[in-house]
Structure 1
Amino acid sequence: MAKRDRTLPRIAGSVIANRLRAAPTPGPTAATIAVYSVKGGVGKTTIAANLAWCAAELSGHRTLLWDLDAAGGSGFLYGLEPHASRQATDMFSREEAPDKLIRRTDFEGLDILPADESIRTIDATLTAIGKRKRLARLAESLGQQYQRIVLDCPPVMNELSAQVVRAADLIIVPLPPSPLSARALELVVREVADHSKRHPPILPVLSMLDMRRALHKAAREENPAWPMIPYASVVEQCAVQQRPVGAIAPQSPSAQRFISLWKAIEHKLAERRS
């Protein structure tokens, strides 16, 4: 068997963000963006929730934030709790439409498909039904209603992560500066190579970056083209106020970093369609 090519496309985020200022607004074609890492505690949910806000508020896309993590962090960051009587895995196992699970947020054009405890069994459910592209098919169907779908993914390597890779048009990998994070990126690259023939682009993002720390400063200097999200109190306030940074402090450096990251994403999606 021929060895798979593990040299996958990556995005030079800061360069793209600068070029985007003169780029045309992307068209209405739907796209699925996965925020994924095999390591927990890397700022994944915060990034997913803020990117979804950027998609709806800045680009004017009808956007769905889809929480695939049993912790339910994305819904919490928007003040939503899952309904105990509803089962998030029903759309996978029973092929039921997800419409009844989708919740509106306080922000126009931004909805959430929240997680609940049933998500804990989703890997077994997907394995049992034997449909390798079930998540991709659901995302394709939801793409009739939403121009952008942002997946908040759990830190796993199993059938769910394989299906996420097959469904995604773009994969965001949050990486707090540490040797374990560097290893996590290589594991994501391997996961993409193993489960997707078309190799969706991977965008590493330095998250929770504190330039007062030598290790963090060195990581930034080593990867100057990667987008970064700073470690800042205003980002922590997302969980306290249950609103995105752009709604709390739109002029803050953290809000501007999320906006730059979103512009890089939109540019890459437009580039792939051209």
Structure 2
Amino acid sequence: MAVIAIYSAKGGVGKTTIASNLAWCSATQAGHSTLLWDLDAAGGAGFLFGVEPKAKRAGAMFARDENPEELLWETGYENLDLLPADDSLRQLDSQLLQIGKRRRLGKLANRLGKHYERIVLDCPPGLGEVSSQVLRTAEIVIVPLPPSPLSQRAFDLVRREIKRVGEKAPSILPVLSMVDVRRKLHREAVEAEPSWPVLPYSSPVEQCAVRNQPVGVFAASTPAAQQFGRLWQAIDRKLSKR
């Protein structure tokens, strides 16, 4: 089992779209039994798969009041399940601090990992107890970076947080997201970091939220779908070296 976190210190970077499409690639293209675990109270990952849980129970499993296996949803795609988020996660940072469970996320991941080869975390933005536990749990952290000075600043924050983890720190993989090469700033960002994966800004990616489907389902031949597939292959290669 390996945990892959899609995380950024700031919002609006395409994090949920990336997490959902990578989880689909893991399950459908690579054939891994995969769990997409939504930790963001906004519940975007569930929405992208047409899942809207009626009961607000996601936060209870962190206090051991809820069995995480009972919260799993089938996505309709082979090998891919979803652990959706809801409003009960809004106070998760303070909840974890109050109960003193500094490794609760990791223990839940290990428990769920008995059923899955890959767990993809769609993480909430910001710095706090949740992000600290994510960085101690994940093997790889994918950091989406739209080309902008603010994104670079957020990336520097993530790198500093990862260094604090110490010897067991996860690998970090920055990804240029929502790239429009018609814009000078975006072209310069790609040229400055030629080894970083690039995810284009495109209509098919926007359509994921309209269709409630990963882009590979309805637009498999597009550059966006192919880039998601290549990105997942790069992640798998990194995992094979750990």
- TM superposition score normalised by structure 1: 0.87
Alignment of 1:58-97 (within 5 A): 58-84=29-55, 86-94=56-64, 96-97=66-67
Instruction: Kindly indicate whether residue 24 of structure 2 is the aligned counterpart of residue 53 of structure 1.
Output: yes
Instruction: Kindly indicate whether residue 2 of structure 2 is the aligned counterpart of residue 37 of structure 1.
Output: no
Q: Retained in 1: the 8 A contact 2:142–2:172?
A: yes
Tell me what 2:216 maps to.
246
Deviation at 1:95, TM superposition (A): 5.1
* Cα deviation digits, residues 160-199 of structure 1 (max 9, x gap): 0000001101000000000000011110011111235311
Instruction: Kindly indicate whether residue 143 of structure 2 is the aligned counterpart of residue 173 of structure 1.
Output: yes
With over 3 angstroms needed to count, the CA separation of the structure-2 counterparts of 1:127 and 1:167, relative to structure 1, is same
Deviation at 1:207, TM superposition (A): 0.1
Deviation at 1:94, TM superposition (A): 2.2
Q: Retained in 2: the 8 A contact 1:177–1:209?
A: yes
Q: Retained in 2: the 8 A contact 1:166–1:196?
A: no
Q: How many residues align?
A: 242
**Separation of aligned partners in 2, 1:58 and 1:125:** 37
Tell me what 2:184 maps to.
214
- TM superposition score normalised by structure 2: 0.98
Q: Retained in 2: the 8 A contact 1:33–1:172?
A: yes
DSSP 3-state at the match of 1:197: helix
What are the ranges of 5 or more consecutive residues in structure 2 without an aligned counterpart?
none
Instruction: Kindly indicate whether residue 210 of structure 2 is the aligned counterpart of residue 257 of structure 1.
Output: no
Specify the code of the residue in structure 2 equivalent to 1:229: L
**Separation of aligned partners in 1, 2:68 and 2:146:** 33
Q: Which structure is richer in relative contact order (CA contacts within 8 A, separation 6 or more)?
A: 1
**Separation of aligned partners in 2, 1:96 and 1:249:** 38
Identity of aligned residues (%): 59
Instruction: Kindly indicate whether residue 162 of structure 2 is the aligned counterpart of residue 192 of structure 1.
Output: yes
Q: Which runs of 4+ in 1 moved over 4 A?
A: none
DSSP 3-state at the match of 2:58: coil
Specify the code of the residue in structure 2 equivalent to 1:226: W
What are the ranges of 5 or more consecutive residues in structure 1 without an aligned counterpart?
1-29
Equivalent in 56, 80, 84 of residue 114 of structure 1: 84
Deviation at 1:119, TM superposition (A): 0.3
Q: Retained in 1: the 8 A contact 2:69–2:112?
A: no
